[in-house]
Amino acid sequence: MSKFNEIINSDIPVLIDFSAHWCQPCKMMPPILKEVKKQLGDKIRILKIDVDKNPSIAQKHQIQSVPTMMVLKMEILYFANRELCKLSRLYKCYSNLLKLNFCFKNTDVISSIKNP
């Protein structure tokens, strides 16, 4: 879990795909995620988290169904989608994330989820 925390504390946005091996809709995500990575390259990290193998991470992020997609940067949640996610929605989320410019100070409190 310490490696996971290190990754989500990064200044690079992290797209997390919470899934399970038994979830049929989850099996549709890899081609979409590959396309996101192809288009955005090093501007984003993509993690696939199996909720059955990583229950503490799933619990920490209140994952109640799969697939669930989240985009975090420096542990701040900018996007959460609890259903199969279309490529266009992920790109829109990333574009909105860039518009924020990440000019937050450590004392700033962000309590709302930013959804495109």
pLDDT 10s digits, 51-110? 999 999 999 999 999 999 888 888 888 777 776 666 666 666 666 666 554 333 332 333
CATH superfamily of 2-99: Glutaredoxin (3.40.30.10)
Q: How is 11-41 classified by DSSP, letter by letter?
A: SS-EEEEEE-TT-TGGGGHHHHHHHHHHHHG
Catalytic residues: 23, 26
Q: How many CB atoms lie within 10 A of CB 43?
A: 12
pLDDT in tens, 92-108: 666 666 655 433 333 23
Kindly list the domain boundaries of the chain, sorted by start residue: 2-99
In whole angstroms, what is the distance from residue 26 CA to residue 53 CA? Answer: 15
Lowest mean pLDDT, pick from 18-27, 38-47, 88-97: 88-97
